Amino acid sequence: MTADADAATPALEIHDLTVSYHRKPVLWGIDVAVAPGQLVGIIGPNGAGKSTLIKSCMGLLPVSGGWVKVFGKSLRDDPRRVGYVPQRESVDWDFPVSVLDVVLMGRYGRLGLGRRPGKADREAARACLDKVQLLPFANRQISNLSGGQQQRVFLARALAQEADLYFMDEPFAGVDAATEAAIIAVLRELRSAGKTILVVHHDLPTARQYFDRLLLLNMNVVAFGPTEEVFTAELLQKTYGGRLTLLSEVAQALGAGANAGGGERA
C-alpha cells in the first residue's frame, strides 16, 4: 500500500513557487512535479535562478509564495529524505577537516543532535568514498585534493545521506574527464536504485545524453519534459534569451546530437 502511495505521489512537487532577494523576484511561479526514479537536468543561463531553485526547495531560503513538497510532505517533517551537493565554491577548502570527516557529515542528519558517529557510520562513509574512488585519500586534508576530487567528496557525502531525492548544484563544473565519468556512473546507479535526482548542469551537449528529463529555467519554467521533446532549438533559444555565443553552442549541440545519436561527445 505504501509502495503504491509512493509511486502515485511525486518525489518533488513545486507549486507556484516565488523567491525574491531583497524584494526583487528571482523565481516566479514555478510549477514542477517530478516523478520518482528520474534523473532530471536543470538547465539555464547564469543567474537564471537554478541555485536559488534548489536552495529554496531545500528550505535554505525564505520563499515569498507557493510551497514545495517532498514525497507528499513538507521537508521540515522529514529532512532525511533529501540529499544535497552544494556548489563547490560554497565552502572553504582550507577548513581543518579530513576527507573522511566531510563524508561523515552526511550521516549527521540521521544521527540527530548530540549523538556521535559510530563504527557503522564510519564504515558507511568509507563505502561511499570507495564508490567515488577516493578511499585512498580518506585521511587527507581537503585542500590537498584536485577540483574534481573535491567535487567527488561532496558527492560521497551526499551518498552517505542515503536519501531518496538528491539535489546537486553543478557537480560537473570544472571537473576532469575521470571525475565526470565517475559522477555520471554514480548518478545512473542511484537512478536504478529508484532515487530521484535533480542536477544543475551547464553543458548543453552532455545534458542531452545524461538526463531523462530537462527543466529549462530562466526566472520561470520555460519547459519541463522528456529530454528529446524539450531539447529543441526553439526552447533553448527561449531559455538562453538569444545570446549569440550560446546559440551557436546550441546549434552545435543539436548538430552533434543529430549525427551521433548518443554515444560519445564531440
Partner 1 sequence: MNREPASEVERVVPNAFERRDPTCTQRVGDNALHLFRYARPALCFLGLLAFTAAPLHAANVNDLAAGDDGFWAQAARFASLTDPSVRYALAGALLLGLSCGLLGGFIVVRKMALVGDALSHAVLPGVAAGFLWAGTKDPLAIFVGATIAGLLGTATVSAITATTRLKEDTALGLVLTSYFALGICLLTMIQRLPNGNQSGIGTFLFGQAAALGADDIQLMAIVTTAAVGVIIAGYKELLVTSFDPGFARASGLPVGLIHHTLMFLLAAAVVIALQAVGVVLVSAMLITPAAAAYLLTDRLHRLLLLAAAFGVMSGVVGAFGSFVGHGLPTGPLMVLAASAVFAGAFLFGPRHGVAARWWRQRCQRARTRRENALKAMFHLWEEDNFGPEGVALADFAQRRRCTLEEIGVIVRELARHDFVTLDREMVYFTPAGRLRAGEIVRNHRLWELYLTESANIAPDHVHDDAERIEHVLGEATVRALERRLNYAKLDPHGKIIPSPRELHRGEHDALERPAAGGREGDRS
Ligand X SMILES: Nc1ncnc2c1ncn2[C@@H]1O[C@H](COP(=O)(O)OP(=O)(O)O)[C@@H](O)[C@H]1O
Binding residues for Mg ion, rule: CB under 5 A, are: 51
Q: Which is nearer to Mg ion, 51 or 179 (CB)?
A: 51
C-alpha cell, 124: 558507511
- Least separation in angstroms between residue 248's CB and ligand X is 21
Binding site for ligand X (CB under 6 A): 21, 26, 44, 46-52
Spatial strand order in the sheet of 24-34: 24-34, 12-21, 65-70
Can you list the positions of beta strands (E) in the chain? 12-21, 24-34, 39-43, 65-70, 82-85, 165-169, 196-201, 213-218, 220-226
Q: Which is nearer to partner 1, 48 or 180 (CB)?
A: 180
C-alpha cell, 9: 505521489
Q: Which is nearer to ligand X, 90 or 139 (CB)?
A: 90
Q: Which does 37 bind (CB under 5 to 8 A by kind): partner 1, ligand X, Mg ion, none?
A: none
Q: Distance (Å, rounded) from C-alpha 107 to C-alpha 124?
A: 9
Q: Distance (Å, rounded) from C-alpha 171 to C-alpha 155?
A: 8
Collapsing DSSP states into helix, strand and coil, what is residue 40? strand
Binding site for partner 1 (CB under 8 A): 55, 58-60, 79-80, 82, 84, 86, 90-92, 95-98, 101-102, 105-106, 108-109, 111, 113-114, 116-117, 141, 146, 157, 161, 176-178, 264
Residue keyed to cell 546507479: 189
Residue keyed to cell 544543475: 200
Q: Which is nearer to partner 1, 56 or 239 (CB)?
A: 56
Q: Which does 243 bind (CB under 5 to 8 A by kind): partner 1, Mg ion, ligand X, none?
A: none
Q: Which is nearer to Mg ion, 51 or 196 (CB)?
A: 51
